Amino acid sequence: QVQLVELGGGLVQAGRSLTLSCVASGSNFRINAMGWFRQGPGKQRELVAAMTSGGKTVYGNSVLGRFTISRDNSKNLVYLQMNSLKSGDTAVYYCAADPTNGPVYSGSTDITIWTYWGQGTQVTVSS
Protein backbone atom coordinates (compact mmCIF):
# COMPACT_ATOMS: atom_id res chain seq x y z
CA GLN A 1 0.00 0.00 0.00
CA VAL A 2 1.05 3.56 -0.74
CA GLN A 3 0.15 6.80 0.96
CA LEU A 4 0.44 10.12 -0.86
CA VAL A 5 0.51 13.46 0.96
CA GLU A 6 0.32 16.84 -0.78
CA LEU A 7 1.75 20.06 0.62
CA GLY A 8 1.86 23.66 -0.52
CA GLY A 9 -1.70 24.68 -1.27
CA GLY A 10 -3.03 28.07 -0.29
CA LEU A 11 -4.35 31.44 -1.40
CA VAL A 12 -2.42 33.34 -4.06
CA GLN A 13 -3.04 36.34 -6.29
CA ALA A 14 -3.57 35.95 -10.01
CA GLY A 15 -0.34 36.18 -11.97
CA ARG A 16 1.79 34.79 -9.19
CA SER A 17 3.35 31.39 -8.60
CA LEU A 18 2.92 28.50 -6.23
CA THR A 19 4.66 25.14 -5.91
CA LEU A 20 3.03 21.95 -4.67
CA SER A 21 4.83 18.87 -3.46
CA CYS A 22 3.78 15.29 -2.89
CA VAL A 23 5.59 12.48 -1.12
CA ALA A 24 4.83 8.78 -1.43
CA SER A 25 5.42 6.41 1.45
CA GLY A 26 4.70 2.82 2.36
CA SER A 27 6.26 -0.60 2.64
CA ASN A 28 7.39 -2.85 -0.20
CA PHE A 29 5.89 -0.66 -2.87
CA ARG A 30 6.81 0.41 -6.37
CA ILE A 31 6.05 3.78 -7.90
CA ASN A 32 6.57 4.62 -11.54
CA ALA A 33 4.13 7.17 -12.90
CA MET A 34 3.28 10.17 -10.72
CA GLY A 35 1.00 13.03 -11.55
CA TRP A 36 -1.28 15.85 -10.58
CA PHE A 37 -4.99 16.24 -11.13
CA ARG A 38 -7.39 18.96 -10.08
CA GLN A 39 -11.09 19.44 -9.54
CA GLY A 40 -12.51 22.95 -9.64
CA PRO A 41 -15.96 24.12 -8.55
CA GLY A 42 -18.62 22.45 -10.66
CA LYS A 43 -16.06 20.56 -12.73
CA GLN A 44 -14.85 17.00 -13.08
CA ARG A 45 -11.39 15.95 -12.01
CA GLU A 46 -8.92 16.62 -14.82
CA LEU A 47 -5.30 15.96 -15.66
CA VAL A 48 -2.84 18.71 -14.82
CA ALA A 49 0.49 17.00 -15.43
CA ALA A 50 2.03 13.55 -15.15
CA MET A 51 5.48 12.04 -15.44
CA THR A 52 7.02 8.60 -15.80
CA SER A 53 9.93 7.45 -13.69
CA GLY A 54 12.11 7.95 -16.76
CA GLY A 55 11.11 11.57 -17.36
CA LYS A 56 8.35 11.38 -19.97
CA THR A 57 5.77 14.09 -19.29
CA VAL A 58 2.25 14.94 -20.32
CA TYR A 59 0.32 18.14 -19.56
CA GLY A 60 -3.27 19.17 -19.66
CA ASN A 61 -4.01 21.72 -22.36
CA SER A 62 -5.21 24.32 -19.88
CA VAL A 63 -1.87 24.46 -18.05
CA LEU A 64 0.62 23.76 -20.83
CA GLY A 65 3.35 26.39 -20.81
CA ARG A 66 2.49 27.64 -17.32
CA PHE A 67 2.94 24.61 -15.07
CA THR A 68 5.95 22.32 -14.75
CA ILE A 69 6.11 18.87 -13.19
CA SER A 70 9.33 17.49 -11.74
CA ARG A 71 10.29 14.66 -9.43
CA ASP A 72 13.00 13.14 -7.31
CA ASN A 73 12.69 9.39 -7.72
CA SER A 74 15.15 8.58 -4.94
CA LYS A 75 12.96 10.43 -2.43
CA ASN A 76 9.57 9.50 -3.88
CA LEU A 77 8.76 13.16 -4.39
CA VAL A 78 6.90 14.93 -7.16
CA TYR A 79 6.48 18.69 -7.57
CA LEU A 80 4.19 20.95 -9.48
CA GLN A 81 5.41 24.47 -10.16
CA MET A 82 2.50 26.70 -11.10
CA ASN A 83 3.25 30.03 -12.77
CA SER A 84 1.01 32.79 -14.10
CA LEU A 85 -1.88 31.56 -12.02
CA LYS A 86 -5.40 32.47 -13.09
CA SER A 87 -8.72 32.36 -11.31
CA GLY A 88 -9.60 29.31 -13.40
CA ASP A 89 -6.81 27.41 -11.67
CA THR A 90 -8.74 27.47 -8.40
CA ALA A 91 -9.31 23.83 -7.47
CA VAL A 92 -8.43 21.00 -5.17
CA TYR A 93 -5.19 19.53 -6.46
CA TYR A 94 -4.62 15.80 -6.06
CA CYS A 95 -1.41 13.81 -6.29
CA ALA A 96 -1.65 10.45 -8.02
CA ALA A 97 0.72 7.53 -8.51
CA ASP A 98 0.82 4.16 -10.20
CA PRO A 99 3.14 1.14 -10.01
CA THR A 100 3.53 1.23 -13.79
CA ASN A 101 4.30 3.98 -16.29
CA GLY A 102 1.31 2.98 -18.36
CA PRO A 103 -1.03 5.83 -17.33
CA VAL A 104 1.28 8.43 -18.86
CA TYR A 105 1.46 6.68 -22.21
CA SER A 106 -1.94 5.09 -22.53
CA GLY A 107 -4.40 7.49 -20.95
CA SER A 108 -3.37 9.58 -17.98
CA THR A 109 -6.46 11.74 -18.57
CA ASP A 110 -8.56 8.85 -17.25
CA ILE A 111 -8.50 9.09 -13.46
CA THR A 112 -9.69 5.50 -13.06
CA ILE A 113 -6.41 3.99 -14.24
CA TRP A 114 -4.34 5.54 -11.45
CA THR A 115 -3.90 3.31 -8.42
CA TYR A 116 -3.01 5.69 -5.59
CA TRP A 117 -4.39 9.09 -4.65
CA GLY A 118 -3.60 11.73 -2.08
CA GLN A 119 -6.14 13.61 0.00
CA GLY A 120 -5.88 16.79 -2.05
CA THR A 121 -4.81 20.33 -1.26
CA GLN A 122 -6.79 23.49 -1.94
CA VAL A 123 -5.40 26.14 -4.27
CA THR A 124 -7.36 29.38 -4.45
CA VAL A 125 -6.39 32.12 -6.90
CA SER A 126 -7.78 35.57 -6.17
CA SER A 127 -8.18 38.38 -8.67
Order of strands, edge to edge, in the sheet holding 2-7?
2-7, 18-26, 77-82, 67-72
pLDDT at 23: 96
pLDDT at 106: 76
- Is pLDDT of 107 > 70? no
Confidence of residue 110 (pLDDT cuts 50, 70, 90): confident
pLDDT at 108: 64
Specify the DSSP class assigned to residue 88.
Answer: G
Q: Over the chain, what is the mean pLDDT?
A: 94
- Is pLDDT of 86 > 80? yes
Confidence of residue 53 (pLDDT cuts 50, 70, 90): very high
Specify the DSSP class assigned to residue 43.
Answer: -
